[in-house]
Structure 1
């Protein structure tokens, strides 16, 4: 088994304990200790030992690069670990080979397997005399370096004085989703960089005022690094939440109580930012044409077509659609089961989604894919969109397996499917644009008030306000086109001949909008 850990990447901004590393990399405590001996930097010398995610990633990247370079004195190449290692002290022995060359044998300090190396007598001494199983060349020959035995400041030092505090905050933030934690940590790490790594225990109001002024200045279009209104709002909000938690910690209760309020920006500051451009989204007919242009010869191409079509069929987020199981799509009942226990849904929301009325070509792409998966031997517990290696070039998949095929952990395949669909098109649409398309379709159709409410709830929204406020907004070209066809003031306007049911629905919608506006005003 390869032990290069190439497929494992930790969160860059997070702080991990030794136990977290053991779980993430599926290794023992001794292995983590060997990494520390080999040069993995801890955040400090206190216990429990903590590690910055970026530091661990850099450490393993450097070790993997050693596989592509020549061995240093005392190193062996372990084929099991697929990397250069130093052997366990005292295990290096010389064995004769058939052609008379010198062959050194030892035991790998990582996996315990046997390693071999052809070497002369001159190369045996550093191998046999290695004082530590993972001593680096810098430490072994520190007389050739300016920083003796890791004494000094490393250029790859990601660890600051706030790591242990942030680890405690991560424990507190466990009530949130992983994405929410990552967004908050991004804002906190930005604050740390802005203050040049200043310990949070020494924060002052002047620091917060400087942060607030910087955020205000970044809203101007001419700023060196301009930020959008949404970015500034969320950054300030995340930092205020962090400060409110910080003031409750025993060692930080002497900080100024006004830290959270010092980050409040005036409304006039947000007015200086450029208006946010409406997100581009295709019409249903345009999506139908994009699907027709997608190739459908190979299994992966059929999968991409189904991924693209399902985004419109259920108005699904990319992370939700890629995490669905085969049994979650009911072609007979024309619905999608969004189960929060098995799929990655927003806010852990479970929902039964009725298929939206979209062109038959889009529906057929999903139905054909489900039929193909069932015919290939996949079970309802398997992923709806498995990875490429799940097919193994076979027409049928073996029915007997120990575990169901798990969904992909990344929604990259959804982005790829939309890139394939938009290949050669003048606009590159994102996976999230499908939700905007379905929301805009609600406004284009003549629906009753009850039907509009059902449409919004089928999208997973608690009320129609969410659909109207955040999705399906008019683009610049669409807005101009509609205004051009408005009648002039002195033109005779056409009187709408509405049926009684349409009149009742129109009045109900007016009353609902009026009541909701009164509630917001109060």
Structure 2
């Protein structure tokens, strides 16, 4: 009695980018992150996942977790020849030269399928048009398949040796194509990335101690100091970079010479082969200085000099460069108005993108809030936006209620029409204010299934395209806030109104808005000074043109002292 072949167990492959590369995870963290049980984690360790282990405690670096799962995916790939297809249902390979085959052209690739003889379900394979033509030449000619086909969906019935064109007509392949097909060597087609598997060496005892020290500091900055995840990731990244570049397997062996060599190497070359930016260097040294200052106070590290962290102080030259004010390129009010007026509104995506820019300028919200806002957060009657920290991604999880900025009725009408458009398509209050286009384009037209824009990068690409289409210098979504900042004192007629506009940014202090947004250009500063001088002539009845040069300088100095006094009052407000 013949026994049935044993069925291959289904591999539960995990996302190779799920863990944060620089973070350290306990066993409990890993189990929670991947939704597995303790036995599964034990099996992973037995199959090559390398932990940092001290006694019964184990730590796993995110980079190692991702590499392990990438390696598992690499091993799970199935190599097939050009004329074969792998069936994920029966876990076997089938020939494309014998059975009926269908092909669909999609985004420049050919999706080829053939019925599985075991499960009666189609097995799919994606290939280039060149491979598709070679496959046609390898198949035996079948006369009954040479009939002319017309299929608007792009699906091609079973094909033989004929050449299939976009209009559905079929012709025999040319002699050149036949020669190409015959001379082609067998080709292995891999489904996915063909990168070599990364091998992680077992850590030494000193490296393990380093990892546990880094984990304790990770918990300190994240839980005790409440730092944001991005800040924690940057701190950990710089610590691991020190470990890699210094070559020291034990933090106890670090001395001032080690730090000096690291600082030199770190500044010279970044990941792209170029010298690192001054801001990057200053931040990295500050993070390492804080880490070693904490480390010298920990049990077992008393041998590390208490002043060692001072050697991570960055050069003053780099500090000055990093802190130097930079010129921000942001669009003017007139450029944004012209861009919105020129944007078409025929399709769903065109109307969404136009409303996206209009709302960003109208509300001044950050890009994180822009992609997480829902329709219910916009109050059309009061012309306001409720950024609830529990539902909207605001900075520092701060709830902000802000009114629309006075940018113009056109912007208000576009946003109002956009929300009306969404509701007409079945959207509800929980629907994302700016949903992805794929669901509307290809999905059912009802109120369910709306998804928000993928990420902040998607918004940045939309704004970059708007800039190109309108001949404007490239600007990011955040630069729109600078445009609003440059308009505050044009809109405000007194200090109270300026304070109200600043609160619309989510700032408690007007100084924050003045320091970080809408820097006054030299040309605008000269224009303002000229206006102030002219106004002083009217207020004080003094004609500066009739004054002597000395008196004119004294008057100008008096005006400048007055302005400086007003600015100091604003900063202490």
With normalisation by structure 2, the TM-score equals 0.64
Q: What do the CA deviations read for 1:59-116 (whole angstroms, capped 9, x no partner)?
A: 2233334454328xxxxx89489999xxxxxxxxxxxxx999xxxxxxxxxxxxxxxx
Work out which of the two has the higher radius of gyration on C-alpha atoms and give 1 or 2: 2
Query: How many pairs were matched up?
Result: 430
Matched, 1:166 2:214: yes
Specify the alignment match of 1:203 in structure 2: 254
Specify the alignment match of 2:395 in structure 1: 346
Describe how 1:163-312 pairs up with structure 2 within 5 A: 163-174=211-222, 175-211=226-262, 225-265=274-314, 267-271=316-320, 277-312=326-361
Describe how 1:83-162 pairs up with structure 2 within 5 A: 160-161=207-208, 162=210
Q: Distance in 2 between matches of 1:191 and 1:313?
A: 45
Q: CA deviation at 1:336?
A: 0.9
Matched, 1:24 2:33: yes
Matched, 1:416 2:461: yes
Aligned with 1:419: secondary structure?
helix
Q: CA deviation at 1:437?
A: 0.9
Matched, 1:58 2:67: yes
Q: CA deviation at 1:56?
A: 2.0
Q: CA deviation at 1:334?
A: 0.8
Task: Pick the aligned partner of 2:405 from 344, 350, 356.
Answer: 356
Q: Distance in 2 between matches of 1:78 and 1:56?
A: 29
Q: CA deviation at 1:359?
A: 3.0
Which residues of structure 2 form unaligned runs of 5+? 1-9, 81-85, 94-115, 119-196, 541-559
Q: CA deviation at 1:388?
A: 4.2
Describe how 1:309-458 pairs up with structure 2 within 5 A: 309-391=358-440, 393-394=442-443, 396-398=445-447, 407=452, 410-424=455-469, 425-445=471-491, 447-458=493-504
Q: Distance in 2 between matches of 1:361 and 1:469?
A: 30
Q: What do the CA deviations read for 1:463-520 (whole angstroms, capped 9, x no partner)?
A: 222222222224xxx5357659987xxxx95646579xxxxxx999865533467x79
Specify the alignment match of 1:146 in structure 2: none
Aligned with 1:261: secondary structure?
helix
Q: CA deviation at 1:182?
A: 1.6
Aligned with 2:402: secondary structure?
strand
Specify the alignment match of 1:115 in structure 2: none
RMSD between aligned alpha carbons?
Answer: 4.2
Q: Distance in 2 between matches of 1:65 and 1:461?
A: 49
Q: Distance in 1 between matches of 2:280 and 2:394?
A: 23
Q: What do the CA deviations read for 1:175-203 (whole angstroms, capped 9, x no partner)?
A: 22212212222222222233125332433
Q: Distance in 2 between matches of 1:82 and 1:353?
A: 57
Q: What do the CA deviations read for 1:126-180 (whole angstroms, capped 9, x no partner)?
A: xxxxxxxxxxxxxxxxxxxxxxxxxxx9755597543332222222222222122
Specify the alignment match of 1:37 in structure 2: 46
Answer yes or no: is the 8 Å Cα contact 2:282–2:322 preserved in 1: no
Q: Distance in 2 between matches of 1:218 and 1:67?
A: 40
Answer yes or no: is the 8 Å Cα contact 2:362–2:405 preserved in 1: yes
Question: Do the aligned partners of residues 414 and 79 (structure 1) sit closer, same or farther apart at CA in structure 2, a change above 3 Å counting?
Answer: same
Matched, 1:472 2:518: yes
* Higher RCO structure (Cα 8 Å, ≥6 apart): 1
Answer yes or no: is the 8 Å Cα contact 2:50–2:60 preserved in 1: yes
Q: Distance in 2 between matches of 1:157 and 1:230?
A: 33
Answer yes or no: is the 8 Å Cα contact 2:23–2:236 preserved in 1: yes
Aligned with 2:327: secondary structure?
coil
Specify the alignment match of 2:20 in structure 1: 11
Q: Distance in 2 between matches of 1:278 and 1:445?
A: 23
Q: Distance in 1 between matches of 2:308 and 2:434?
A: 47
Q: Distance in 2 between matches of 1:332 and 1:12?
A: 46
Answer yes or no: is the 8 Å Cα contact 2:16–2:70 preserved in 1: no
Answer yes or no: is the 8 Å Cα contact 2:279–2:322 preserved in 1: no
Which residues of structure 1 form unaligned runs of 5+? 72-76, 85-97, 101-152, 500-505
Q: CA deviation at 1:5?
A: 3.5
